[in-house]
C-alpha cells in the first residue's frame, strides 16, 4: 500500500523557538494516533533542522530539508550538501520547488543532479513539478509535466518506487488560495502514474507516492484525497499552524489512504 504524506513546507518561516514549540506540541498528538500508512512530515529552514530532528526523535513525525546542493563539498558559499544533511540522519529533502525554479533559475537537469546527490546518502527526494497558469491556459499542462518528468528522471533508476516522492504543484495554485479542483489534480496525477508505468513498470507506478500541492487546507484536503492517485499533500501556508497541521493528519488518517 502506498504511503500517504502530509508534508509541511515551511519555506522561510519560523525561527528556533517557533520550530521547537511546534514540534513539542504536535509530537504528543501524533504519538496518540494509529497513523496506518500516513506519514506526517515538516520541512523547516536549514538552521532549525537539527532542532526539529531532536524534538521529534523516535516519533512518527519526519523532517525534510527544503533544498540541497548538487555539489559534494568545497567552495560553494551558502550551499548545504547531501552529506551534511545525512550527517544529521535526515531522511527527506524537497527538490525543484517552483520557488527555487522561479527565483534561482533551477532547471530539470539541476533537479536531477540534486537527486543523485541525495541518493548517494539515502535521502528520499520529494521532486516538485507543475505547470504555470500561462502554460495551463495554452493547453500545455500535459506537455509540461511530461517534459519535467523526462528532464528530472532521465537515467534515474527506480526499482521499488519508494526511492522518490513526486509532488505535483501547479504553480498557479501555490500560495494563491486557489487550489486545483480534485478533478484537475487527479487528471494530472493519473498522467504522472501512467508515465511511471510506461517508463518503470507496474511496481514503481503502484508504489510511488504522488502528492498534490497548492493551497491545501483542512477544508479542501478530504476531497483532494478522494482522487485515486493523490497520495497526500505538500502544504505551505496551512502547515504552519499546529492545529491545522494536526487536523490535516487526522483527515489523512480518516481517509485510510487505501490506494493501490
- Check binding of 237 to ligand PEP (CB under 6 A): yes
Q: How far is CA 216 from CA 12, 147, 160, 175, 213, in A?
A: 18, 25, 28, 9, 7
By CB under 6 A, name the one of 87, 102, 150, 175 that touches ligand PEP.
Answer: 175
Number of H helices, E strands in the chain: 11, 8
Residues 223 and 243: beta-carbon distance below 8 Å: no
Closest among 195, 207, 193 to 3, alpha carbons compared:
207
Q: 144 or 205: whose CB is closer to ligand PEP?
A: 144
| Residue 185 contacts ligand PEP per CB under 6 A | no
The residue sitting closest to ligand PEP, measured at its beta carbon, is 236
Catalytic residue status for 169:
yes
Mark residues 196-225: x for contact with ligand PEP by CB under 6 A, - for none: -----------------xxxx---------
Q: Of the residues 55, 99, 131, 169, which is catalytic?
A: 169
| Residue 163 annotated in active site | no
Task: Give the whole-angstrom CA distance, residue 95 versus residue 112.
Answer: 9
Which residues ranging from 10 to 69 are in contact with ligand PEP (CB under 6 A)?
11
Q: Where are the alpha helices (DSSP H) in 79-181?
A: 82-87, 98-103, 108-120, 133-137, 141-153
234 touches ligand PEP by CB under 6 A: yes
**12-20, 150-158, 191-199, 228-236 -> range binding ligand PEP (CB under 6 A):** 228-236
Residue 182 C-beta: closest distance to ligand PEP, Å: 15
Task: Count CB-CB contacts under 10 A for residue 121.
Answer: 17
Tell which residue, 57, 103, 65, has the closest CA to residue 82.
65
Number of residues that bind ligand PEP (CB under 6 A): 14
Instruction: Return residues touching ligand PEP (CB under 6 A).
Output: 9, 11, 169, 174-175, 213-216, 234-238
Q: Which residues are catalytic?
A: 97, 169
Amino acid at each position: 500500500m502506498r504511503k500517504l504524506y502530509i508534508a509541511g513546507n515551511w519555506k522561510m518561516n519560523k525561527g528556533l523557538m517557533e520550530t521547537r514549540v511546534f514540534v513539542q506540541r504536535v509530537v504528543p498528538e501524533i504519538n496518540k494516533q494509529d497513523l496506518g500508512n500516513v506519514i506526517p512530515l515538516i520541512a523547516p529552514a536549514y538552521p532549525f533542522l537539527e532542532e526539529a530532528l531532536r524534538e521529534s526523535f523516535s516519533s512518527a513525525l519526519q523532517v525534510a530539508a527544503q533544498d540541497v546542493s548538487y555539489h559534494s563539498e568545497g567552495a560553494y558559499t551558502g550551499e548545504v550538501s547531501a552529506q551534511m544533511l545525512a550527517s544529521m540522519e535526515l531522511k527527506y529533502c524537497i527538490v525543484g520547488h517552483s520557488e527555487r525554479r522561479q527565483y534561482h533559475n533551477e532547471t530539470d537537469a539541476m533537479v536531477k543532479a540534486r537527486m543523485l546527490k541525495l541518493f548517494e546518502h539515502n535521502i528520499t527526494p520529494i521532486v516538485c513539478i507543475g505547470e504555470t497558469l500561462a502554460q495551463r491556459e495554452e493547453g500545455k499542462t500535459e506537455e509540461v509535466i511530461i517534459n519535467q518528468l523526462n528532464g528530472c528522471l532521465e537515467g534515474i533508476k527506480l526499482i521499488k518506487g519508494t526511492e522518490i516522492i513526486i509532488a505535483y504543484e501547479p504553480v498557479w495554485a501555490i500560495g494563491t488560495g486557489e487550489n486545483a479542483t480534485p478533478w484537475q489534480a487527479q487528471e494530472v496525477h493519473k498522467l504522472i502514474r501512467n508515465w511511471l508505468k510506461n517508463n518503470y513498470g507496474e511496481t514503481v507506478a503502484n508504489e510511488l507516492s504522488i502528492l498534490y500541492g497548492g493551497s491545501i487546507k483542512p477544508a479542501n484536503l478530504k476531497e483532494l484525497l478522494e482522487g485515486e492517485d493523490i497520495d497526500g499533500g505538500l502544504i505551505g501556508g496551512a502547515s504552519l499552524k499546529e492545529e491545522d497541521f494536526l487536523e490535516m493528519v487526522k483527515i489523512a488518517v480518516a481517509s485510510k489512504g487505501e490506494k493501490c
